[in-house]
């Protein structure tokens, strides 16, 4: 599977499970759902991921560190409209493929 888009499905709630590291997922869009808890650290190791949109949810805690070795192709990251805290990981600024970053 290369794309998961379940945006706008407000019946989905609770914590997001950990993701298997070796998969072909390129797009993960979960905006406008009711997921909560921390963002699973494994999401920062989806090596084929190009677009990640977790906006408009109830995630809390800190932003996991995204490294070039974990997500070398990540071009778009949207974590806006959540309840995240802490500092922005400096590793985000080393992602040479990142074109869009939304944290507001």
Domains identified in the chain, total number:
1
Please give the structure tokens belonging to residue 62.
Answer: 């800190």
**Structural domain containing residue 10:** 3-102
Percent of the residues in the chain that have a pLDDT greater than 90, as a whole number: 88
Query: What is this structure's pTM?
Result: 0.93
CATH code of 59's domain? 3.80.10.10
- Phi and psi (nearest 5°) for 37? 80, -165
Per-residue pLDDT reduced to its tens digit, 4-39: 999 999 899 999 988 886 679 999 999 999 999 999
């Amino acid at each position: 599977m290369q794309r998961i888009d379940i945006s706008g499905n407000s019946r989905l709630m609770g914590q997001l499970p950990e993701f298997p590291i070796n998969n072909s997922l390129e797009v993960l869009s979960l905006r406008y759902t009711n997921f909560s808890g921390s963002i699973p650290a494994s999401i920062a190791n989806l090596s084929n991921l190009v677009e990640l949109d977790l906006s408009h949810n109830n995630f809390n805690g800190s932003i996991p560190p995204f490294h070039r070795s974990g997500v070398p192709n990540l071009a778009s990251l949207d974590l806006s409209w959540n309840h995240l805290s802490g500092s922005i990981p400096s590793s985000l600024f080393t992602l040479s493929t990142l074109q869009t970053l939304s944290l507001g």
